[in-house]
Amino acid sequence: EVQLLESGGGLVQPGGSLTLTCAASGFTFNHYAVSWVRQAPGKGLEWVSAISGSGGSTYYADSVKGRFTISRDNSKNTVYLQMNSLRADDTAVFYCAKDSSVGFRLNYCDYWGQGTLVTVSS
């Protein structure tokens, strides 16, 4: 059974940093890209970032480019999202999702974690 478990969310002040972790199980981890998708309170879904199965390619939404860094440790079946210079409009539930193939392009998210809430407020 595919499982994705996010952790690391919490309350952080504007301008602060936070690192989210996604621990995966139930599939051959390095065979699949992984994405982060966020959802602001009461709002829709926004794709944030993705990383290929090998970790060699990374992708970012313009809204987070230069502030967020995605990485993965295939020996630990884990993906990370390092978030710097956080703003109030980054407040959201962040979901980790398995992509349908090893690359990012032309693939969709087929399994999702339950999400972790990030609140940016003073």
Partner 1 sequence: EIVLTQSPGTLSLSPGERATLSCRASQSVTSRYLAWFQQKPGQAPRLLIYGTSNRATGIADRFSGSGSGTDFTLTISRLEPEDFAMYYCQQYGSSPRTFGQGTKVEIK
Asked if residue 32 binds partner 1 (CB under 8 A), the reply is no
Contact range with partner 1 by CB under 8 A, out of 10-18, 69-77, 80-88, 98-106: 98-106
Does the protein bind partner 1 through residue 113 (CB under 8 A)? yes
**Interacting residue with partner 1 among 62, 66, 75, 122 (CB under 8 A):** 62
Minimum distance of partner 1 from residue 4's CB (angstroms): 9
SS (H, E, C) the chain: CCEEEEECCEEECCCCCEEEEEEEECCCHHHCCEEEEEECCCCCEEEEEEECCCCCCEEECCCCCCCEEEEEECCCCEEEEEECCCCHHHCEEEEEEEECCCCCCCCCEEEECCCEEEEECC
Residues that bind partner 1 (CB under 8 A): 35, 37, 44-47, 59, 61-62, 95, 100, 105-115
